Structure 1
């Protein structure tokens, strides 16, 4: 339903509208994979994600009669901003339905581009039901986030840029929600069988692996992930057909994988991405086997950078803990003057930085004269965590860790 010629036509339409985003080599990921790994920075795209590509392609092709009725969309944030920006550029009225818990910066940005935002439901799927109902009532055109050939063709323009920027690319790793981006990239590469596409979903919102195995779209069994940008309950019919036809494999990553990837991109690449935008990097970090068996370059698409600062703070903390940079200790000591000070001196002597301290004087594991001390310690990594634990146990402390 989408071919290379469709993607090339979309590229002509969005020229001067979508940015040609840069690629950046990741030394850390390259060492891990054993081949050059490049980051395609769609987090630096207009409106913060690749979505403007598909939204504009779809909307610029509407008839004048359709444009007169305006457009409606449903999104957790990135598609919302892409549609709102495209509508503003084309002079169209836009109404966007977003889940009630959508990130506040995404809601504010969507409104800032001139769209009217309605908060409905707890997921993109529920917001999409409301958007369809609005389209039926008003005659406005539904701009689906992924289930339309024009949208997929527009998203596929990412691949055309990658082919120019990394001509010898062997694998492109792509975050997958409804599948529009991965399908567009796979379609763009239909006449390049030497370039492989690998999709990535959050394990807690993974509809594609089971769907591809079943040969038909199957709903996800859960939608509980920090990666709200790819938390889609059901594959789209259009992208599913493309991914199935091109036999695109879809890997899954854990929440810990996502947070570690986001932390690596922030620390090593100096780039801000949202959890869904880090999914491709998460897949490479979690299991680099089979990514670049032929030694050719790998491109990870950083699909979006629209992240709530509060969520970013939580994810970074989670990533630090997952990477062994935080150590949680439960230590039982005798409740005597100076006991806490002595414990803190021991930790400091081993280079641990105490971030938080709390006391507990009652509990099933405490004797009459005992006190439990919970510590959160910043460390230099897993090896340093082991050093702190070994040192405290050698000093006679009763402790447990997490």
Structure 2
């Protein structure tokens, strides 16, 4: 692969993951229905890219399978390893099972039980460490050195970026004339991939030349926003990033390669509050049939509550990156919605 992921590499990834990852639907949200959720009706048409409908409930299958599928037979025999708070864990476990390889996943002890259970159900071996994303990476590297596993990083690899980029390619194919795409950002795999695909498609005449791509992340874990606007890759301590309910967005820093792609192709990043994340989840549960996990709801929160920071456009697509919502949290949100009706 080249230093920067190319459109040909994204198209190759699209073919490679076909039949494994799903070409997920893009749902239009009727503006009038938003009044049911008691939020201001936006001045743009809003669409949700439902990555929650992937076999593992998350976009992570795209990048994981794209990378695992390119390993040699010898590497597959040794097994694969990754470090993840949950969704990438399931993506690697799913890909490894499909290709007949052992999967070892280093996960934080505070990862949601629903994600741990799903990862084990896919046949992976889980090794637990502390909450810091750096702890996960260090432990995984130790196990690679000891057992020779093939590392499948959660975001900082061209194969991962190309796989996640297929999501962006689908958006421009499904929504001709889209003017703004919003992606969640943490380590940067999805945002760098989506932005690369959308901007390269625009250069090839497959999308509007002025289409913009923005990232969204929690205020409590806004290292990517700081990095983007300072043009310097920064790292936040785990005690800060782990404060957010968005467990999939607690990574302490953008990946190095992801940061380079973000600087080249992303137009801006906004951060949202915890209250806005919860409200976006309630909105989605009220006006759609989609189930959002907190990390996936940050994009809707950005679109609904930070429109003044975003470009003024008429057609917006937000990526719902995952739907692996803990049952207890879903019950709480639905109870709160029921009380509003009473």
TM-score, normalised by the number of residues in structure 2: 0.90
Shift of 1:92: 0.7
Aligned to 1:6: 9
- Runs of 4+ aligned residues of structure 1 deviating over 3 Å after TM superposition are 28-31, 313-317, 378-381
The residue that corresponds to 1:241 in the other structure is 260
Task: Give 5+ residue unaligned stretches, structure 2.
Answer: 203-208
Partners of 1:166 and 1:19 in 2: CA distance: 17
Q: How far does residue 63 in structure 1 lie from its aligned partner after superposition?
A: 1.8
User: 1:269 and 2:278 equivalent?
Assistant: no
Q: CA deviation at 1:56?
A: 0.5
Quick check: 1:214 aligned with 2:230? yes
Equivalent-residue separation in structure 2 for 1:117 and 1:276 (angstroms): 22
Query: After the TM superposition, which residues 67-106 of structure 1 pair with which residues of structure 2 at under 5 Å, given as runs?
Result: 67-106=76-115
Deviation at 1:286, TM superposition (A): 1.3
Aligned partners of 1:168 and 1:240: how far apart in 2?
27
**Of the candidates 164, 170, 177, which is equivalent to residue 168 of structure 1?**
177
Q: Which structure 1 segments of 5+ residues have no match?
A: 327-377, 382-402
> 2:322 aligns to what SS in structure 1?
coil
Q: Which residue of 1 aligns with 2:324?
A: 306
Larger Rg: 1
**Pairing of 1:147-158 with structure 2 (within 5 A):** 147-158=156-167
- Confirm or deny that 1:205 pairs with 2:224: no
Question: Is the contact made by 1:7 and 1:187 (CA closer than 8 Å) also made in structure 2?
Answer: no
User: Map of 1:1-400 to 2, 5 A cutoff?
Assistant: 1-28=4-31, 32-191=41-200, 192=202, 193-221=209-237, 222-223=240-241, 224-289=243-308, 291=310, 293-295=312-314, 297-314=315-332, 320=336, 378-379=339-340
Which structure's relative contact order is higher, taking Cα pairs within 8 Å and 6+ residues apart?
2
Report the RMSD for the aligned CA atoms in angstroms.
1.9
Q: TM-score, normalised by structure 1?
A: 0.77
Deviation at 1:314, TM superposition (A): 4.3
User: SS of the counterpart of 1:97?
Assistant: strand
In the comparison of the two structures, how many residue pairs are matched? 323
Deviations 1:146-177 (A, max 9, x none): 00000010001001111121111111111111
The structure in which a higher percent of residues are helix is 2
